[in-house]
Amino acid sequence: MSDRLAGQSALVTGAGRGIGRAIAERLAAEGAAVLVADIDLAAAEDTARAITDSGAAASACQVDVSQRASVAVMVATAAARQGRLDIAVSNAGIMDRMPFLEMTDEFWQRLLGINLTGGFLCGQEAARQMVAQGGGGRIILVASNSGLFGGRGRAAYGASKAGLINLTQSMAIELAAHDIRVNAVAPGPIKTRPEQGDEPPPSVMSRMPMARFGRPEEVAAVAAFLAAEESSFVTGHVYGADGGYTVAGIMEG
């Protein structure tokens, strides 16, 4: 593993498990000190312990990304513990489905509140910290390929992720003057839980060129690239990590 993030201070939300955990582990393995934030404090502590046991730097923090005060405390904690904040990864999110005609206000608000407002709050609080410390930084939002096309039962989830993609673009434009780059990662089907089975369902496999689940580490590698100096002229973009799922059209015949 390279040390291309040596001396950097990072935070990752939703890092108690799944993709967020893989991103936290990857940033730490490349030399960053990482604040591992999650609404599930025990899970965040488990991730942080695994990182420190490997000899890298991390600590845990509880956060509810849908709440301004909680996000502000998380960013202040990163700055206090790690001296500053260079990299913020807004990954925390929830996925749930409901038919559009039955979708309740409560369902809609919950998905939008965590996924989209969460990205806004994390991005804004992180950016304010970066500007206050003199500018420079990278913000990475974890969107989804569901933000790039429609899906059955996914009106709220897809809208939240499409919102994150446009938020990425607008933040990139406004924050460029402060030398803060903003990009998004849009994962395809990633295996984060045993109950997902060995391969994606047939409806996904039929338009999945690489014909398998992605691994959280494969999303983390893209996030690490966007966090590193190697991507120094990249801002405002959305990077798929999806085995070709988003670009697949006619697959047979």
Q: Does 64 bind ligand NAD (CB under 6 A)?
A: yes
Among positions 122-161, residues that touch ligand NAD (CB under 6 A) are 142, 144
End-to-end CA distance of the chain: 42
Q: Kindly tell me which residue out of 8, 9, 59, 66 binds ligand NAD, with binding defined by CB under 6 A.
A: 66
Buried b (16+ CB within 10 A) or exposed e, 218-229: bbbebbbbbbbe
* Cβ proximity to ligand NAD, 119 vs 137, nearer residue: 119
Q: Which of 157, 213, 239, 245 is catalytic?
A: 157
Respond yes or no: is residue 157 known to be catalytic: yes
Contact 210, 244 (CB under 8 A): yes
Contact 189, 245 (CB under 8 A): yes
Buried b (16+ CB within 10 A) or exposed e, 34-62: bbbbbbeeebbbbbbebbeeeebbbbbbb
Q: Does 65 bind ligand NAD (CB under 6 A)?
A: yes
Distance CA 130, CA 239 (A): 23
Q: Kindly tell me which residue out of 25, 38, 45, 86 binds ligand NAD, with binding defined by CB under 6 A.
A: 38
Among positions 199-238, residues that touch ligand NAD (CB under 6 A) are none
* Cβ proximity to ligand NAD, 79 vs 190, nearer residue: 190
Q: Please give the positions annotated as active site.
A: 157
- Give the binding site for ligand NAD (CB under 6 A): 13-14, 16-20, 38-40, 43, 63-66, 91-95, 114, 142, 144, 187, 189-190, 192
